[in-house]
Structure 1
Amino acid sequence: MTHTTLFVGIDVAKAKFDVALLNAEGKYRSKVFPNTASECLRFLDWLAKHDALGAHLCMETTGIYGRGLAHFLAQQQLLVSVVNPAQTHAFGKTELTRAKTDKADARLIARYCQMHRPAPWAPPAEEIATLQALVQRLEDLLGLQTMENSRLEAAAGPARESVEAVLQFIQQQIEMVRLQIHIHIDQHPDLKSQKERLSSIPGIGDNTAATLLAFLSPLERFHTVKQVVAYAGLNPRIRQSGQWAGKSPIAKTGNVLLRKALYLPAVVAKRHNPVIAAFCDRLLARGKRPMQVVIAAMRRLLHLAFGVLKSEQPFDPNFGVA
């Protein structure tokens, strides 16, 4: 890890990204750039102007909005880290941070980077990047399908015919993208074998396996299953003060596609996966609410998925029960 004394926090939004350069004296230089490809080059010039090309840059995982910038910075051989927003949020609480602006968030990320020196980020392999794009596209199409189905309920006459035509086209696109995902995974032996291991877990089908492969890769960045759970935003958010203890909802600060992909499989696994079914029965016997049990099943399903990928062995229910 570099011994740089310069740290740059980057807060990315859809239309812009705020940057904060923190020097050894604890002083900041701040700047706002439109979130476009051409402005990435201007950001690079800005770093060069302030002798900060050797700085440690840090940004949060913000889905599609920050992906292009992260790839650009990595391609320029700059030291950039991409961290879970839950980490910087928790860090902000330790500082009793009250300001909540994009400029303040960029400065917070810079301080987090200075304090914790997160690991460098590397772009995913080409086959993983392609799989991520296909899975994201499928999710977009499913969202469009849901919206058009809602419109269909209120549509009549020619308007209804239009909605039905759009729905037919969307369904064709969904089937095409699912086929592309299937072909893409089959063309890469490592992905194919990993998918087969994931599919050996009762409750996980082709779509869920594809999402897991897309967003858990590379697996080496996770040292423990707790890190995987936090990355998916399924870690509980504890609320306790003195003798009072409130409900503990999930953090919801991780990868939303992973959470969505695990919900229905967890519902299925509650009935058909012997390991998860026994686990859920114990939780129900302890008085847990149904939704708490489903979320716990999602976490346990993620545990099993991480286990088969890490061990390179198919699911073994006897081992799981033991």
Structure 2
Amino acid sequence: MNSQVGVDVSKAKLDAALLNEQGKYRTKVFANTAGGCAALLDWLAAHVAGGISQVHVCMEATGTYHELLALALHDRGVLVSVANPMKVKRFIEVEGTRNKTDSADARSLARFCRMTRPEAWEAPSKAVRELQALVARLDTLQQMRQSELNRLDVAHGAVQASLQEMIEVLTKSIEEVQRRIRRTIDDDPDLQRRDGLLQSIPGIGERTVAQLLAYIGRPERFKSAKALAAYASVSPLIRQSGTSLNKHHGTHAQGHRELKKALYFPAMTASRFNPVIKAFSQRLKAQNKPNKVVLVACMHKLLAIAFGVLRSGKPFDPSLACSARA
């Protein structure tokens, strides 16, 4: 590749830095919207000799904020890498970069891309993209319905009829999206197969299965259960050095927040009804671990079990799952 591009992604904007063969930068800011992604592609095509086929774009994994741009670039045939934020952070520390701005981070990502040549990002299939959109819509509708239900409890009589009407509309919309989610899974052989595998795990219900299918995508893109746990932000964050520093700071902040959230209630359910998670939870409680630590560990364990059945292609087996590391 002749040119490397670093893109610092935030919710609202994309800070892009184009690093050419001569080591010179060209920078520009775009909106993190479909129109902004299209404008970024046009900008690259105008300033890269040989066109966008000669570009390698690198960005950090930022929950879901990076996905719109990553998909837009992938669909246009651009080589895209989505880097682990911790690796980028370590690279910047080694470089000794002092300035911490979005523009500086974009330039650092371009240098990281040139020096490390990170692996290409794997885009989700068309069916998984559709499932992701439907799962996100379902979550939004359910939140809206719950908000209206909460208002109904304290609402004045003059607005109760309006609230009831809106709740009914939202309920019908939720049911329609749920039907479309089911149809999307059933119409795709690969999703249907993985759906059956995940359904075999006690504690994971139909809603969670759809979320896992949407957020994990093809399980083979993760090298291990540990890599998936890091992606889901359920890996413990530990700072330890010598004898004076030994602290646990919860979990890593970076990661897929929706996937982490999707595991919360299933882990609680699994700690009661899944024999493997139940035994694991009881063992941690016997060690006087705080309830929050136990719950996150159960989330981690449940995700490891899900990864195991997906990678092996075999339904849940307690005797095998007991050996899965949490």
**Could you state the TM-score of these two structures normalised by the residue count of structure 2?**
0.89
Structure 2 equivalent of residue 187 of structure 1: 187
Residue 22 of structure 1, aligned match among 11, 19, 25: 19
The 1:153–1:91 alpha-carbon spacing in structure 2 relative to 1, beyond 3 Å, is farther
What pairs up with 1:227-246 in 2 under 5 angstroms?
Answer: 227-242=227-242, 243-246=244-247
Structure 1 equivalent of residue 58 of structure 2: 58
Query: Which blocks of at least 5 consecutive residues in structure 1 are unaligned?
Result: none
Question: How far apart are residue 193 of structure 1 and its match?
Answer: 1.9
Instruction: Look up the equivalent residue of 1:194 and give its one-letter code.
Output: R
Separation in 1 of the partners of 2:184 and 2:300? Answer: 28
Show CA shifts across 1:69-113 (max 9, x none).
222212221111123444434544454555433212212322332
Contact 1:84–1:254, Cα closer than 8 Å, also in 2:
no
Separation in 1 of the partners of 2:229 and 2:304? Answer: 8
The 1:164–1:62 alpha-carbon spacing in structure 2 relative to 1, beyond 3 Å, is farther
Q: Does 1:213 align with 2:213?
A: yes
Instruction: Look up the equivalent residue of 1:302 and give its one-letter code.
Output: L
Structure 2 equivalent of residue 117 of structure 1: 117
Question: How far apart are residue 233 of structure 1 and its match?
Answer: 1.0
Question: How far apart are residue 47 of structure 1 and its match?
Answer: 1.8
The 1:37–1:284 alpha-carbon spacing in structure 2 relative to 1, beyond 3 Å, is closer
Separation in 1 of the partners of 2:186 and 2:94? Answer: 47
Structure 1 equivalent of residue 44 of structure 2: 47
The 1:47–1:288 alpha-carbon spacing in structure 2 relative to 1, beyond 3 Å, is same
User: Cα RMSD between the aligned structures?
Assistant: 2.2
Show CA shifts across 1:185-224 (max 9, x none).
1222221221111111111111111111112112221111
Single out whichever of 24-33 and 298-307 deviates more from structure 2: 24-33
Question: Helix, strand or coil for the counterpart of 1:21?
Answer: strand
Question: Helix, strand or coil for the counterpart of 2:37?
Answer: helix
Separation in 2 of the partners of 1:143 and 1:284? Answer: 33
Structure 1 equivalent of residue 275 of structure 2: 274
The 1:151–1:84 alpha-carbon spacing in structure 2 relative to 1, beyond 3 Å, is farther
Question: Helix, strand or coil for the counterpart of 1:17?
Answer: strand
Contact 2:131–2:214, Cα closer than 8 Å, also in 1:
yes
Structure 2 equivalent of residue 162 of structure 1: 162
Contact 1:92–1:108, Cα closer than 8 Å, also in 2:
yes
The 1:81–1:34 alpha-carbon spacing in structure 2 relative to 1, beyond 3 Å, is same
Contact 2:8–2:14, Cα closer than 8 Å, also in 1:
yes
Separation in 2 of the partners of 1:278 and 1:187? Answer: 37
Q: Does 1:10 align with 2:7?
A: yes
Separation in 1 of the partners of 2:34 and 2:11? Answer: 13
Contact 1:131–1:214, Cα closer than 8 Å, also in 2:
yes
The 1:321–1:41 alpha-carbon spacing in structure 2 relative to 1, beyond 3 Å, is closer
Question: How far apart are residue 24 of structure 1 and its match?
Answer: 4.7
Structure 2 equivalent of residue 105 of structure 1: 105
Structure 2 equivalent of residue 292 of structure 1: 293
Structure 2 equivalent of residue 315 of structure 1: 316
Separation in 1 of the partners of 2:38 and 2:259? Answer: 32
The 1:278–1:93 alpha-carbon spacing in structure 2 relative to 1, beyond 3 Å, is farther
Separation in 1 of the partners of 2:164 and 2:99? Answer: 48
The 1:36–1:183 alpha-carbon spacing in structure 2 relative to 1, beyond 3 Å, is closer
Structure 1 equivalent of residue 262 of structure 2: 261
Separation in 2 of the partners of 1:193 and 1:123? Answer: 20
Instruction: Look up the equivalent residue of 2:169 and give its one-letter code.
Output: F
Question: How far apart are residue 278 of structure 1 and its match?
Answer: 1.3
Single out whichever of 61-70 and 126-135 deviates more from structure 2: 61-70
Separation in 2 of the partners of 1:213 and 1:278? Answer: 26
Single out whichever of 303-312 and 212-221 deviates more from structure 2: 212-221
Show CA shifts across 1:206-257 (max 9, x none).
1111111112112221111111001111111112344232233111311111
Contact 2:122–2:221, Cα closer than 8 Å, also in 1:
no
Separation in 2 of the partners of 1:189 and 1:270? Answer: 31
Separation in 2 of the partners of 1:308 and 1:46? Answer: 44
Q: Percent identity?
A: 46
Contact 2:19–2:25, Cα closer than 8 Å, also in 1:
yes
Instruction: Look up the equivalent residue of 1:224 and give its one-letter code.
Output: S
Query: Which blocks of at least 5 consecutive residues in structure 2 are unaligned?
Result: none
What pairs up with 1:58-207 in 2 under 5 angstroms?
Answer: 58-62=58-62, 65-95=65-95, 97-207=97-207
Single out whichever of 54-63 and 199-208 deviates more from structure 2: 54-63
**Could you state the TM-score of these two structures normalised by the residue count of structure 1?**
0.90
